[in-house]
Amino acid sequence: MDKNGKTIKCKVCDREFYIPGSRIGSRKYCSKECALKDNYGFIPREKKCIECGKKFIINNGLRIGDKTCSYDCRYKQSIKRAKEQRERKKNEIINIVCRYCGKKGTTSKYNNSKYCSNECRFKHMSEKRMGKNNPAYRNGFAVTGSRKYIGKHLRACSKYKKDFLEKNEYLYCESCGVNINGTMKFETHHIYFASRHPKHTELHNSKNLMLLCVQCHNDFHSSKREKEFEKIERERGLKKLFKINEN
């Protein structure tokens, strides 16, 4: 037993209980139940919403920092702050040296560009991201065929992404679950690759498509998700759809 401790009375039920010296002055209740009955000693207070001006009550010490009365008001405030921050950064001019041509120039803190022009940026990105240096490199596989066929492939990917957004109201990776807060890039993936089943009649069937972030897309194409692939293949009945002999 802590020699520096002492016995005190519960603030709610008056029951006596022992507390160590390190908790003297901070612990006032004998149990969590008593603490909840007294709302941990928090006294409700009234505040005025900075968005709509409506008065609201703070009943919990965890919400003491709230400045808005509801989620809608908090969301409107966040939009306003984002716009104010964007405008402030647009007005802050900084000097730069182009990473491609070495030419000196200026840009806003909002753009935060490292190039004097889009032309230099595109040239630099093109030269630095060739072959395996490209973050979207996928083990050398590519969609081959006529321009007409490639257009059909891209339209199918675009349509699936658009339908997915209409159905779910926001984009997210169907494999890892990351949404736009974690990545800004999503791609439509053919579970049975277009490079291995070119021009198959069921290639662009929605059962053979899924929305993925770039990292998961690369993993599927580099055979790092074999177990997940087999599970999806089984759940969606792709072997039957593509008329592949399971024996």
pLDDT in tens, 190-207: 999 887 888 888 999 999
Q: What pLDDT is attached to residue 143?
A: 47
Please tell me which residue, 181 or 213, carries the higher pLDDT value.
Answer: 213
Domain ranges, ordered by start, for the chain: 6-41, 93-128, 147-241
pLDDT (mean) for 101-106: 90
Question: For residue 189, is pLDDT > 80?
Answer: yes
pLDDT (mean) for 101-119: 87
Q: What pLDDT is attached to residue 208?
A: 94
Q: Are strands 104-108 and 55-58 parallel, antiparallel or unpaired?
A: unpaired
pLDDT (mean) for 225-234: 91
pLDDT (mean) for 206-233: 90
Question: For residue 110, is pLDDT > 90?
Answer: no
Question: With the CA atoms of 213, 218, 223 and 224 taken in that order, what torsion angle do they form, in degrees rounded to the nearest 10?
Answer: -60
Report whether 200 contacts 174 (CB < 8 A). Answer: no
pLDDT (mean) for 201-218: 91
Highest averaged pLDDT of the listed ranges 88-92, 124-128, 140-144, 183-187:
88-92
Specify the DSSP element, H or E, that contains 149: helix 147-168
CA-based radius of gyration for the chain: 30
SS3 category, 129: coil
Report whether 203 contacts 197 (CB < 8 A). Answer: yes
Read off the pLDDT of residues 14-68 as tens digits, 9 standing for 90 and up. Answer: 999 988 888 888 888 899 899 989 988 889 999 999 999 999 999 888 888 899 9
> Poorest-confidence range of 50-59, 81-90, 122-131, 133-142?
133-142
Question: For residue 146, is pLDDT > 80?
Answer: no
Q: What pLDDT is attached to residue 113?
A: 84
pTM over 0.75: no
Question: For residue 3, is pLDDT > 70?
Answer: no
The structure tokens listed for 106 are 């200026």
Q: What pLDDT is attached to residue 163?
A: 92
Share of the chain above pLDDT 90, in %: 33
